[in-house]
């Protein structure tokens, strides 16, 4: 009983029960209407038959005389069937027919009547004898009485017991059909509810395993391609994203603990050295300068982490607005021009005019600055030729492509996706200052604006491309 109550509280079972009730009610109404229409149609058909026979007898009497009509009536009354025939003289005295107990009011006032009757046994002496060969019966009759021109009374009707028997058969079939529909609906509803509940229980069991800490669990997807498969696909995509974020958070935590441990240790050592007795003023000043430099690096690292977090959360510092990207790219390239010149690197720009984006100017500028800073560091060809950086902005097929390309040593294809993660630095970058957060920020900014960031082979060198959608 408790299991039934638990199942009944589910929305699936209640909705199924509601649909079953609606279906059963509609089926009952439909079958009742069909039975009622069938009974009405039979009754109408009997009335039409009675009217047609009365008109036929009247026509025979008018054209061939009363004897011909009496002969036709006597012949019909001797045939088996539901037909009822009665002919009397002007005083109501029985002459012909297969029924001899017509109520007086039927003969007195012509019209349509319904009454119960009983055909007496001709051997009992109860009432006038029935005509030879007339079937002995009783029941309910529907008749039409008319007065003939010679004053005689003609009664033609039908026994409705057969019609009522047919109605009873219809009613019985109707009740059997209703019971069958109810049973079938209950079985079909139970099977449907069981299947739905099984799918829901699968999702619930998977979510329970995930909440217990097993983030690799996924909702099973069948081959039916129904709405549950669509829901399972979306849930699995969401779980994949959550797992990636949690894994990224774990990696960030590990990397922060690892990469910040060294500068913090240096800070402590420098401060401790400055506090030793007998330390000269010059040594203390150098120690304080080192502490300040290390502090600036830590602040820069934390600022980069904060900006990446804001970009990935979709909450940039400042709302998105309609901006012309060309001046932003040109300003950042101009800012890094002297830096590239000091490093003996040629910086070239190729910027299309009139490229407008729904974007955050500060984040676009910061991402481009990170790309240029990396390019200045690594745009040094291995053959000793002059380094070159090309900054470009192009509008192609509804996309804005912001690219920074250099002719340095490049990045191996196997490492191009990995360097987008936080704190990842390749071996050849260990000698250069940095925290390994620059490309992570660029990737986060591109995703915030609905675009993508990718690294391509520049042959030689690397080409970093922010692919953003135009409004």
Tens-place pLDDT, residues 161-190? 766 666 677 777 777 877 887 787 778 777
Instruction: Output the pLDDT for position 167.
Output: 67
Tens-place pLDDT, residues 89-128? 888 888 888 877 788 888 888 898 888 877 654 444 444 4
Q: Does residue 308 surpass a pLDDT of 70?
A: no
Instruction: Output the pLDDT for position 101.
Output: 77
Q: Does residue 402 surpass a pLDDT of 80?
A: yes
Same domain, 18 and 46: yes
91-100: b (≥16 Cβ within 10 Å) or e: eeebebbbbb
Same domain, 164 and 276: no
Q: Which of 17-26, 213-222, 259-268, 348-357 has the lowest mean pLDDT?
A: 259-268
Instruction: Output the pLDDT for position 365.
Output: 84
14-21: average pLDDT: 76
Instruction: Output the pLDDT for position 188.
Output: 75
29-53: average pLDDT: 81
Same domain, 352 and 419: yes
Same domain, 202 and 340: no
Q: Which of 211-220, 277-286, 308-317, 323-332 has the lowest mean pLDDT?
A: 308-317
Report the C-alpha gap between 259 and 169 in whole angstroms.
Answer: 90
Question: Which of residues 296, 315, 334 is at a domain's end?
Answer: 315
Instruction: Output the pLDDT for position 176.
Output: 82
DSSP state of 449: T
Question: Which of residues 271, 297, 315 is at a domain's end?
Answer: 315
Report the C-alpha gap between 31 and 38 in whole angstroms.
Answer: 10
Same domain, 131 and 271: no
5-12: average pLDDT: 62
Report the C-alpha gap between 204 and 188 in whole angstroms.
Answer: 24
Same domain, 374 and 284: no
For residues 424 and 68, which has the higher predicted lDDT (pLDDT)? 68
Report the C-alpha gap between 110 and 54 in whole angstroms.
Answer: 12
% of residues, the chain, pLDDT over 90: 5
Question: Which of residues 280, 315, 350 is at a domain's end?
Answer: 315
For residues 98 and 197, which has the higher predicted lDDT (pLDDT)? 98
To the nearest whole number, what is the mean pLDDT of the chain?
A: 78
Q: Which of 191-195, 201-205, 260-264 has the lowest mean pLDDT?
A: 260-264
223-243: b (≥16 Cβ within 10 Å) or e: eeeeebbeebeebbeebeeee
The helix or strand, by DSSP H or E, that contains position 47, with its residue range, turns out to be helix 11-64
Same domain, 286 and 347: no
Task: Indicate which CATH number applies to the domain containing 383.
Answer: 3.30.565.10
Instruction: Output the pLDDT for position 36.
Output: 79
27-54: average pLDDT: 81
Same domain, 211 and 307: no
Same domain, 196 and 272: no
Instruction: Output the pLDDT for position 9.
Output: 64
Same domain, 159 and 271: no
Instruction: Output the pLDDT for position 126.
Output: 42
Instruction: Output the pLDDT for position 384.
Output: 64
Query: How large is the C-alpha radius of gyration of the chain?
Result: 50
Count of structural domains, the chain = 4
Q: Which two tokens stand for residue 257?
A: 């603990």
Instruction: Give the range of the structural domain holding residue 331, as residue numbers without chain letter.
Output: 317-469
Instruction: Output the pLDDT for position 124.
Output: 42
Same domain, 310 and 326: no
Q: Does residue 332 surpass a pLDDT of 60?
A: yes
Report the C-alpha gap between 8 and 6 in whole angstroms.
Answer: 5
Q: Does residue 455 surpass a pLDDT of 60?
A: yes
Q: Does residue 31 surpass a pLDDT of 80?
A: no
143-160: average pLDDT: 88
Q: Which of 152-161, 245-254, 418-427 has the lowest mean pLDDT?
A: 418-427
Instruction: Output the pLDDT for position 47.
Output: 85
Q: Which two tokens stand for residue 65?
A: 């005389």
Q: Give the other-Cβ count within 10 Å of 257's Cβ.
A: 9
Tens-place pLDDT, residues 419-451? 776 555 554 444 455 555 668 778 888 888 888
Same domain, 202 and 271: no
């Amino acid at each position: 009983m408790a299991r039934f109550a638990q199942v009944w509280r589910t929305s699936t079972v209640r909705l199924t029960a509601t649909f079953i009730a609606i279906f059963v009610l509609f089926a009952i109404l439909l079958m009742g209407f069909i039975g009622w229409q069938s009974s009405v149609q039979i009754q109408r058909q009997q009335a039409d038959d009675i009217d047609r026979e009365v008109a036929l007898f009247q026509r025979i009497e008018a054209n061939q005389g009363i004897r011909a009509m009496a002969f036709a009536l006597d012949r019909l009354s001797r045939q088996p069937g539901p037909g009822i025939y009665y002919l009397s003289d002007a005083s109501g005295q029985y002459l012909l027919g297969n029924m001899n107990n017509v109520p007086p009011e039927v003969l007195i006032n012509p019209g349509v009547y319904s009454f119960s009757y009983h055909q007496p046994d001709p051997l009992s002496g109860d009432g006038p004898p029935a005509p030879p060969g007339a079937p002995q019966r009783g029941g309910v009759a529907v008749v039409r009485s008319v007065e003939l021109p010679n004053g005689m009374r003609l009664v033609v009707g039908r026994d409705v017991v057969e019609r009522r028997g047919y109605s009873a058969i219809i009613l019985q079939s109707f009740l059997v059909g209703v019971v069958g529909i109810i049973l079938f609906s209950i079985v079909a509803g139970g099977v449907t509810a069981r299947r739905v509940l099984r799918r829901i229980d699968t999702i619930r069991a998977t979510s329970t395993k995930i909440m217990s800490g097993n983030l690799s669990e996924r909702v099973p997807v069948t081959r039916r391609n129904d709405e549950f498969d669509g829901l399972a696909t979306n849930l699995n995509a969401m779980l994949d994203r959550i797992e990636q974020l949690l894994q990224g958070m774990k990696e960030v935590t590990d990397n922060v603990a690892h990469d910040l441990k060294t500068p913090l240790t240096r800070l402590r050592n420098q401060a401790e050295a400055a506090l030793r007795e007998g330390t000269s003023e010059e040594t203390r000043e150098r120690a304080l300068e080192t502490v300040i430099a290390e502090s600036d690096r830590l602040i820069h690292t934390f600022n980069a982490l904060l900006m990446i977090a804001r970009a990935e959360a979709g909450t940039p510092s400042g709302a998105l607005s309609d901006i012309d990207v060309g001046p932003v790219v040109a300003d950042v390239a101009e800012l890094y021009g002297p830096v590239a010149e000091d490093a003996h690197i040629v910086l070239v720009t190729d910027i299309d005019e009139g490229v407008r984006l729904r974007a955050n100017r500060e984040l676009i500028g910061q991402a481009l600055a990170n790309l240029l800073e990396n390019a200045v560091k690594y745009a040094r060809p291995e053959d000793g030729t002059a380094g070159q950086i090309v900054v470009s902005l192009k509008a192609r097929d509804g996309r804005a492509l912001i690219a920074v390309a250099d002719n340095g040593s490049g990045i191996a294809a196997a490492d191009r996706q990995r360097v987008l993660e936080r704190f990842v630095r390749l071996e050849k970058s260990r000698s250069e200052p940095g925290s390994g957060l620059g490309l992570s920020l660029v990737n986060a900014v591109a995703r915030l604006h609905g675009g993508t960031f990718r690294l391509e082979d520049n042959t030689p060198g690397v080409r970093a491309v922010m692919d953003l959608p135009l409004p």
